[in-house]
Structure 1
C-alpha cells in the first residue's frame, strides 16, 4: 500500500512510498483510509522541526487527522465492517502518570505519551491502517465527506469543556464569546460556541476569501479591525485564542468582562519578544477574578463530544471548511498553503 512518510528532523524528506500492509493485532480494527487532514503540526514535521519516528525506524507515517471505513472488526468491539471511524491521536505511556491512568491522557504529567503520526507511532496517512477498538470513535454515516474534521473539533471541544469547568468555580452564565483566528480551529470553536447559544464574534486579519462568509453563515459576527477595538466593543465573557500571535494573546488576557475566561489554544513561536505591562495584566486578572487556561490535545471524551457536534452541524457549512482536496500521490501540494485555504486534506 502507499503511505505519506517523512524522516523526522530532516528537511524535504516528505515522500509517498510503498509500505507493508498492516496486520491487525488482537482487539484492533482494520481500516480503509479515506482522508487525512494537514495542519500546522504536520507542516512542522515535514520541515524537519518536530516529530519522532517509531523506535528502530528512520521514517514515520505522517497524519493524525484521520477518517476511515472499517474493513474488519473483532467480535464484541462495538464496530462493524462499513463503519465510519476516526482514530484517537494520543496514547498514554506504558507506565502511566495519574492522569493517563484515569483516561485523561491529554493531561499527561510525565511527557512519555506517544502520538499517532507525531511521536513514535505511525500515523493515519496510509491507504490502510489499524487502530485499537478502544481508540476509535464512530461517526455518523452522513459525515463521510467532512468526518476528517473530527480531530480539530476535539481540540475545541476540550477547550470549551475547560472554559465551562473553570467557569463553574462560581456562578457562570456567559453570553458573548470572542474567537481570535478564523482558521480551522477558530471556525470550529465558533461553531461550538453558536451551538451553545452564545453571541459569537470572530477576529481575523483577512477581509477576502471564504472566512468572513463562513463566520457570518454561523450567525456570528466577523471582525477585521484591531484587537483593542474589538475587545472594547464586544467585552467578551469568554475568549478562545486560536492564533498564538503574541499581541492577541496579551490583549485577550485583560480584555474580558469581569470573571472572564481565556482559553489559549494557539502555540506561539519562540524567540519573538514583545513589551507588555505585566503589572497591569496581573492587576486586571486578580481584581476581576479572571482565569487563563491553556488547552491542547484531547481524550476519548472529547472525541465523542466532537462526533456529536459534527453530527448536529450544518453539513454544507462543514463541507465549505474543506477548501482543497489533494490526491495522495500529489500530497506535497497540501503542505504549501494557498491564500484561500481553510482546511486542506489528502484523499487516500
Structure 2
C-alpha cells in the first residue's frame, strides 16, 4: 500500500512510501478506500521539518488530515455501509480526559495531551486505504465525491462562527455585516458560512486578480483590496473572521469593528516578528466598546456535522472552483510547492 509519509522534524523527508501494510480494522472501525487528501499550511510545516510527532515507537508519520474516502467495510450497527462517502475526524481526546475532552469538546483540550491524525502521534489519512473508528467518522452527501476533502477546513470555520454566536449571545446580538480577512480556503469557507447566515459579507485580500475575486462575487459577497483601516472605517463590521495570521491585520481587526464587535482569530501567526502596537488604545477600545477577541482552532464532532450540512447545501460548482490543482499521489511533492493562484491543492489517492 502506498502512503504519503514524513519523518517529523526532519526537512526533506517527505516521500511516497510503497511498503506499508494495508491496515486491518479493529473492533468498531471502518475500512476506508482513500479518495483524496487536501493539503494545508500545517502539512507544509510538517513536511518542512517544523512540526509534527510520529506515532510512539515509530520514526515516520503518515501525513494528511483533510480526508475523503469511501467505506469498503463497516461493522454491524455502526450506522455506516459500504459505499458511504466519509471523512475522518482529526483530533482524539487525551487518554485521561480533561474536563473538556470528557464532554466531547476535545477541540478545547486543557492539557494538550490530545492526539491528531496526520499531525500528532497518529497516522493520518494520506494512504490508499485507512481505518477510522465509526464514532470519529462523518458521512457526507454523495454529491460531494469530488470536493469532500473541503470538509475539515469547513469544520474550522463552523467552529469559529459558533464561537462568535456564543459570545454574541452574552447580550442582544443581531450582526448585519461581517468582514473576512484572507481569501484562502479558510477565508472563503468562512465567507460561505457567513452568507448562509444571511449576513452582508465582505472579504479582504491583497490579490487583485486570479480566481479569488470571482469566488467571492459568486457568493454574493464583496471583495476588497484596499488597506485594512480604510475597509473597516467604511464598513464598521459587526464581526471579523481573521484568517491570515498576519500581525498587522490582527491588530487592525481589533481596532476596526463596530461597537460590541467580535473578532475571531483563526490564522496562526509566525513567531519572531516584532510589531509596535499602541496597547493602551487597543485596551481602551476593547473595554469602552464591549468588544471581544477570541482565538479558535480545530473542531469537534458537532462542528463536523455542521460542516457536512453546510457543504451539502452549497453550490457544488462554487466548491469545485476552490480546488485549483489536483496532483496524483505519485507526484505528491508537487502539492507542497506554492503556485501563485493556488487556493486548495488536493492529492488524488486513486491515481493507479
Q: Which bin holds the TM-score, normalised by the shorter protein?
A: over 0.9
Residue 144 (structure 1) aligns with: 145
Q: Does 1:16 align with 2:21?
A: no
Residue 225 (structure 2) aligns with: 224
Aligned length: 348
Q: Does 1:160 align with 2:186?
A: no
Residues 57-112 of structure 1 deviation map (CA, whole Å, 9 limit, x = unaligned) = 00000000000000000000000000000000000011010000000000000000
Q: Quick one: distance in 2 between partners of 1:76 and 1:196?
A: 35
SS of the residue corresponding to residue 67 of structure 1 reads strand
SS of the residue corresponding to residue 254 of structure 1 reads helix
Q: Quick one: distance in 1 between partners of 2:43 and 2:234?
A: 36
Residue 329 (structure 2) aligns with: 328
Q: Cα distance, 1:254 vs. partner?
A: 1.3
Q: Quick one: distance in 2 between partners of 1:221 and 1:183?
A: 15
Please list every run of 5 or more consecutive structure 1 residues that lacks an aligned counterpart in the other structure. none
Q: Does 1:5 align with 2:12?
A: no
Q: Cα distance, 1:342 vs. partner?
A: 0.4
Q: Does 1:319 align with 2:320?
A: yes
Residue 177 (structure 2) aligns with: 176
Q: Quick one: distance in 2 between partners of 1:57 and 1:139?
A: 32
Q: Quick one: distance in 2 between partners of 1:40 and 1:101?
A: 29
Q: Does 1:245 align with 2:246?
A: yes
SS of the residue corresponding to residue 54 of structure 2 reads coil
Q: Cα distance, 1:145 vs. partner?
A: 0.5
Residue 342 (structure 2) aligns with: 341
Normalising by structure 1, report the TM-score. Answer: 1.00
Q: Quick one: distance in 1 between partners of 2:342 and 2:109?
A: 33
Q: Does 1:193 align with 2:194?
A: yes
Residues 149-187 of structure 1 deviation map (CA, whole Å, 9 limit, x = unaligned) = 000000000000000000000000000000000000000
SS of the residue corresponding to residue 70 of structure 2 reads strand
Q: Quick one: distance in 2 between partners of 1:245 and 1:94?
A: 35
Q: Quick one: distance in 1 between partners of 2:252 and 2:106?
A: 31
Query: Following TM superposition, where does structure 1 have runs of at least 4 consecutive aligned residues deviating by more than 4 angstroms?
Result: none
Residues 252-296 of structure 1 deviation map (CA, whole Å, 9 limit, x = unaligned) = 001111110000000000010010100000000000000000000
Q: Quick one: distance in 2 between partners of 1:207 and 1:289?
A: 34
Q: Quick one: distance in 2 between partners of 1:272 and 1:262?
A: 21
Residue 302 (structure 1) aligns with: 303
SS of the residue corresponding to residue 248 of structure 2 reads helix
SS of the residue corresponding to residue 131 of structure 1 reads strand
Q: Does 1:128 align with 2:129?
A: yes
Residue 35 (structure 1) aligns with: 36
SS of the residue corresponding to residue 253 of structure 2 reads helix
- CA RMSD after TM alignment: 0.3
Q: Quick one: distance in 2 between partners of 1:276 and 1:205?
A: 22
Residue 288 (structure 1) aligns with: 289
Q: Cα distance, 1:24 vs. partner?
A: 0.1
Q: Quick one: distance in 2 between partners of 1:346 and 1:132?
A: 23
Q: Cα distance, 1:208 vs. partner?
A: 1.2
SS of the residue corresponding to residue 256 of structure 2 reads coil
Q: Quick one: distance in 2 between partners of 1:305 and 1:242?
A: 19
Q: Quick one: distance in 2 between partners of 1:151 and 1:183?
A: 14
